[in-house]
Structure 1
Amino acid sequence: MRVFVAGGNGVIGRRLVPQLVARGHQVTATTTSAAKLGLLERLGAEAVVMDGLNATSVGEAVALAQPDAIVHQMTAISGKPDIKHFDRWFATTNRLRTEGTDHLLAAAQATGVTTFLAQSYASWNGIREGGWVKTEDDPLDPTSTGKGAAAIRHLEDVVVRAGGAALRYGAFYGPGATDDQVELVRKRQYPVVGNGAGHSSWVHLDDAASATVLAVERQVRGVFNIVDDEPAPASEWLPYLAACAGAKPPMRIPVWLARPLAGRTAVAMMTEGRGFSNAKAKRELGWQLRYPTWRQGFKEELA
């Protein structure tokens, strides 16, 4: 297939492009910087510069590539995590999930592309009621990340309505994905809040990429949780991450102190977050994980 990867230079894109190429697909991958074209070409893609927030730029890039499938991996997540000011930290990503998605869907419609996949998110943001692990049939928490939650709802609504698939990736780890978090852990600036009962789901970048390749090839529709086998509370995964990173155990701080220091989002994630089940993705995609649990993955990545 001819596959158009929007955002090919991101942490997931850099793992996805080589896997698509290895499976025999012809890949066009985009970047916002001409300086990154060489990197994408070395990964085996035809590289193009595209501004995902400019409808004309998107339309021209897609029309030139003439793809059979479009994979939307555009984000703008970089720098030190700022969960306290989540909306500010994710402002451009939120636009890429709304305006950028709309531009790509318009380009798909104009060129007759019917296979469309887009990056969504499912780590700790399941609806905060009932059990700790959610399926695709459960709603996301509408208040989990402020404007970010609204952007994800928009992306999923328009993509699924257009006959595409929203891939809800868990929290990424792997090459380049958690460097900033690990640095905070080593500085003991990433504490467990309250009882740390809030659950999160993780996925290694290579496993996320392999699931995406399968989703492209099977031309799936609907929503899929792309997470590993073990949703876990912060009280388990954070101390384990610290141990794998050779750091001291994380500090523990009460909710009343964390709320003004880290913000409502961090408190919700650590104390009330809901993880996700990958049963549908494994069943319908035939997906087999190289890293079934973050326990294995953290240890190998930080060894």
Structure 2
Amino acid sequence: MRVFVAGGTGVLGRRLVPQLVARGHEVTATTTSAAKLGLPAGMGAEGVVMDGLDAMSVGEAVAGARPDVIVHQMTAISMTHAGKPDMKHMDRWFAPTIRLRTEGTDHLLAAAEAVGVPHFIAQGYASWNGIREGGWVKTEDDPLDLHEGTVAQAGLEAIRHVEDVVGRAGGAVMRYGGLYGPGASDDQVELLRKRQFPLVGGGAGHSSWVHLDDAASATVLAVEQKARGVFNIVDDEPAPAGEWLPHLAACAGARKPMRVPKWLARMLAGDVPVAMMTEGRGFSNAKAKRELGWELRYPSWRQGFKEGLA
């Protein structure tokens, strides 16, 4: 199968492309500059320079590859603020990624239609952003929480845009949990080691996690099975911040995170981290395991954090 991976040299793309190549697929992986073309070649893929925000650039790249499936993995998170999280100004921190999830998705879908690409898969998100009512664990049937009126709203609306337009096109959206693994969680570990990542309030808010390799393997299955619909790509153990954060700190060789009250966290970091750590809802992976036959190498962040930071 000819697979076009937009964002193929990103943190997840670098784990996905080799898995696709290993299973015999012909992969075209995009990068943002000619200086990075050695990365796809080193993974056994054909590299192409593409600007995901330029409709002509996207159209030419897709037409040249003539793929059987497009996999949209474009983000710009690592390019902003030198990769440092800025939760108080999420709207500014995520602005380039928001454009890639709105304009970039639209450009890729238009190119797919123009060339006649029959299948489309896009990156979504499902970590702490389940609707904040009822139980702590949500399925694909539960709505995502847009955190209206906060700095997270624009980014979460962009994720909903991806689900809406890809769904109408008959594609699949892989809602990845909090990604960790090589290059994905370095910023969080650094903050923990500096004691700049405190636990807020009681830490009851839940999150879901997934190792990069498991996220990639689920995506390979979606490619090969021509999957449609929305899938929560998360591990088996949604967990409260009061459990996963101290464990991540211990695995990183850091001291136990400080605990701060909600009012202080809100003053220092804004409303979103407070909601995330005290009210966040995690996600169930039952549908992905059932419909895709997905098996995880790291069923729990407990094992994954430990092995990943050993």
State the TM-score bracket (shorter-chain normalisation). Answer: over 0.9
Partner of 2:195: 188
Partner Cα distance (2:132, 2:33) in 1: 39
**1:257 equivalent in alignment to 2:264:** yes
Partner of 2:104: 100
Deviation track 1:263-285 (CA, whole Å, cap 9, x = no partner) reads 11111110000000000000000
1:35 shift after superposition? 1.3
Deviation track 1:41-67 (CA, whole Å, cap 9, x = no partner) reads 100110000000000000000000000
| Greater shift in the superposed pair: 13-22 or 108-117 | 108-117
Partner of 2:52: 52
**Partner letter of residue 236 of structure 1?**
E
**1:237 equivalent in alignment to 2:247:** no
Query: Within 5 A, what are the aligned runs for 1:123-272?
Result: 123-143=127-147, 145-272=152-279
1:143 shift after superposition? 1.4
List structure 1 segments (4+ residues) > 4 angstroms apart after TM superposition. Answer: none
Partner Cα distance (1:108, 1:276) in 2: 30
- On the 8 A contact 1:114/1:163 being kept in 2, the answer is no
1:33 shift after superposition? 1.6
**Partner letter of residue 143 of structure 1?**
H
Partner of 2:35: 35
1:3 shift after superposition? 0.1
1:146 shift after superposition? 1.3
**Partner letter of residue 158 of structure 1?**
V
**1:71 equivalent in alignment to 2:71:** yes
Partner of 2:124: 120
- On the 8 A contact 1:4/1:28 being kept in 2, the answer is yes
**Partner letter of residue 56 of structure 2?**
T
**SS at 1:67's partner residue?**
coil
Q: C-alpha root-mean-square deviation of aligned residues, in Å?
A: 0.6
**Partner letter of residue 258 of structure 1?**
A
Deviation track 1:217-276 (CA, whole Å, cap 9, x = no partner) reads 000111000000000000000000000011100000000000010111111110000000
**SS at 2:123's partner residue?**
strand
**Partner letter of residue 59 of structure 2?**
G
Partner of 1:19: 19
Partner Cα distance (2:222, 2:119) in 1: 10
**Partner letter of residue 118 of structure 1?**
A
1:114 shift after superposition? 1.7
1:80 shift after superposition? 0.6
1:39 shift after superposition? 1.1
Partner Cα distance (1:76, 1:281) in 2: 26
1:84 shift after superposition? 1.0
**SS at 2:183's partner residue?**
coil
Deviation track 1:52-105 (CA, whole Å, cap 9, x = no partner) reads 000000000000000000000000012111111101000000000000000000
Partner Cα distance (1:291, 1:123) in 2: 16
Q: How many residues align?
A: 303
% of aligned pairs identical?
A: 81
**Partner letter of residue 34 of structure 2?**
A
**SS at 2:37's partner residue?**
helix
1:186 shift after superposition? 0.5
**SS at 1:259's partner residue?**
helix
- On the 8 A contact 1:195/1:271 being kept in 2, the answer is yes
Unaligned runs of 5+ in 2: none
Partner of 2:62: 62
Partner Cα distance (1:269, 1:132) in 2: 12
**Partner letter of residue 114 of structure 1?**
P
**SS at 2:77's partner residue?**
coil
